[in-house]
Structure 1
Amino acid sequence: MSSKNDSKAFYAKLKTQLEETTQFPTLYMYKFIVPSSDDKIKQVHQIFDNIGAVIDTKRSSKGTYTSVTITVNMKSADAVIEKYKEASVVEGIISL
């Protein structure tokens, strides 16, 4: 199975879960792990720029990775998923 089909199935399942468990609009928390590169962290910041997001970052003990926690008001499950898709283009990012 290709990763394109895997991601399509993942997002379809996520949408179903979000719609069953969350009443929108709501504050949604994204958690990502990214390599500790200023460029990669900046990319994540830009994805959530100008939508009222609160972004916290914390470097790992060795400084190799940075945890990025974003809390933002999201209007729908589709809007949540769209941000995950935008973030997936950041090289080395891991969504939690």
Structure 2
Amino acid sequence: MEPARNPEEFYKKLKSQLQDTAMWPTEYLYKFIVPTEREKILQIQNIFDNMGAVIHTRKSKKGTYTSVSVNVRMKNPDAVIAKYKKVGEEVEGVISL
């Protein structure tokens, strides 16, 4: 995801795509890239805490960055977008894919 240009337009398009491609509630796979710092990874994990999320992490070849994949059941497109926004606001340096 690349919401930097016009976040509201981006999220509007994403919501439309999610509505058209899935039956809700459904499993959704989030992917984030963060600098390899324990605190940043924990922040993402805490945002998805108590949701039954399955979270996998993998360090980059040089260990500078870590990819965080979060597979979780979401109730609707608005809930998906709310989590993207929360991660973007709370985790400095995160890249959402």
TM-score by length of 1: 0.93
Task: Give 2:27's aligned residue.
Answer: 27
Superposed CA offset, 1:6-47 (max 9, x none):
111111110011001111111100000000011111110011
Distance across 2 between alignment mates of 1:36 and 1:92: 10
Q: Classify 1:4/1:56 alpha carbon distance in 2 versus 1 (closer, same or farther; 3 Å).
A: closer
1:77 Cα deviation after fit: 0.3
Query: Which runs of 5 or more structure 1 residues have no equivalent in the other structure?
Result: none
Percent of aligned pairs with the same amino acid: 56
Q: Secondary structure at the match of 2:6?
A: helix
Q: Classify 1:4/1:34 alpha carbon distance in 2 versus 1 (closer, same or farther; 3 Å).
A: closer
Task: Give 2:46's aligned residue.
Answer: 46
The size of the alignment, in residue pairs, is: 94
Counterpart residue identity of residue 77, structure 1? P
1:72 Cα deviation after fit: 0.3
Distance across 2 between alignment mates of 1:58 and 1:76: 28
Question: How well do the aligned residues superpose, as a CA RMSD in angstroms?
Answer: 1.5
Within-5 A mapping of 1:33-72: 33-72=33-72
TM-score by length of 2: 0.92
